[in-house]
Amino acid sequence: ETKLLTIFHELYHISPEFDGDIRRFSGKYFAHGKSQKQFDARLKREIDIYLDRFGKDELLDFLKMDFKQLQAKFGRVMGQTMRMPKAVAVFGPNGH
- The arithmetic mean of pLDDT across residues 16-42, rounded, is 82
Residues sharing a CB contact under 8 Å with residue 52, sequence separation 6 or more, in sequence order: none
Domain ranges (residues) in the chain: 2-74
pTM higher than 0.75, yes or no? no
Q: Mean pLDDT, to the nearest integer, of 82-93?
A: 76
Q: Is it the case that residue 68 has pLDDT exceeding 90?
A: yes
pLDDT tens-digit map of 34-62: 788 888 888 899 999 988 888 777 888 88
Share of the chain above pLDDT 70, in %: 96
Confidence of residue 96 (pLDDT cuts 50, 70, 90): low
Distance CA 21, CA 6 (A): 19
